[in-house]
Amino acid sequence: MRIIFTAVLLVVNIALQSTLFQLIAIRGVVPNTAIIIIVSVALLRGRFEGLLTGFFAGLLQDIFFGNALFFYALLGMLTGYFCGGINKSFYRENFILPLVLCAAATFLYNMAIYLTSLIMMGNINLLYCFLNKILPETVYTSVLSILGYRLLFELNEMIEYKERFRRKLF
C-alpha cells in the first residue's frame, strides 16, 4: 500500500516536474519538488525509507534526463539517508525544520552538480551559478516545501491510520 503510493507519487512528480512546473518557473528556475518529497518522507518515515525514496526519485530523473546513470540516484539516496537521521529526534508537527532541511538539501544537491560539472567540463563561474541557479532554486524549493510537507504529512497520517486499522482487524 505504502510502496504503491510512494511509487505513484514519484511517477506523478517526475511527470509534473518536466511539464507543468516548467510553466511556474521564476526567471527560468524550476523548483525541485523531488527534494521536497525525499526530505518529507525521510522526516516522516526514517532513514531507510528516505534512502529508498531518494534512490528511486533520482533514478527516474537519471533515466529521463540525466547524462550518467545513478548520478541523481546517489544524490537522492544520500539526501534521504541524512535527513532521515533526525526522524526520531523532533516532533513531526514542527514545520520549520523541513523548510530548513529542504534549503540545506537543495543547496548541497546543487553544489554536488556544480562540482561534477566543474570536474567534467571545467571553467564554470561559481559566483554566477550561485546567484542565478543555486540560490533561486534553494529559496523557491524551501518556500514550496511548507506546502509540500503539509500535504505529505496529511497523506502520511491517513495511511498510518489505515494501517493501524488493518492491524487491529488481524
Partner 1 sequence: MNFFMHYRKHILILVSIVLLVTAFFTYEKKSSFTFVDNALTFIVTPVQDGISKISSFFTNKINERKLNKENELETEDLVLKVKELESENEALSKKISLLSEENDELSSLLNIAKKYPDFETIGVRITAKDPGNWYDSFLINRGSNDGIYSNMPIIDSSGLVGMITEAGKTHSKAQSILDSHNSVSAVCLRTNDTGIISGDYTLFEKGLCRMSYISPTSSIVPGDEIFTSYLSDIYPAGISIGIVTEIGLEESGLSKTAVISPTANLKQMDSLLVITNYKKQTSETSTED
The residues that touch partner 1, with contacts defined as CB under 8 A, are 11-12, 14-23, 27-30, 32, 34, 47, 51, 60-61, 63-65, 67-71, 73-74, 77-78, 81, 110, 113, 117, 120-121, 124-125, 128-129, 132-133, 137
> Residue 57 has what DSSP assignment?
H
Query: Cβ of residue 64: shortest distance to partner 1, in angstroms?
Result: 6
53 or 61, CB closer to partner 1?
61
Query: Cβ of residue 13: shortest distance to partner 1, in angstroms?
Result: 9
95 or 115, CB closer to partner 1?
115
Beta strands, E only, 48-139? none
Question: Cβ of 119: how many Cβ atoms within 10 Å?
Answer: 8
Query: Cβ of residue 156: shortest distance to partner 1, in angstroms?
Result: 23
Q: Using CB atoms within 10 A of its CB, is residue 75 exposed (0-12), middle (13-18) or buried (19+)?
A: buried
CA distances (Å), 56 to each of 53, 78, 113, in order? 5, 12, 18
Query: Cβ of residue 167: shortest distance to partner 1, in angstroms?
Result: 20
CA 75 to chain centre: 10
38 or 51, CB closer to partner 1?
51
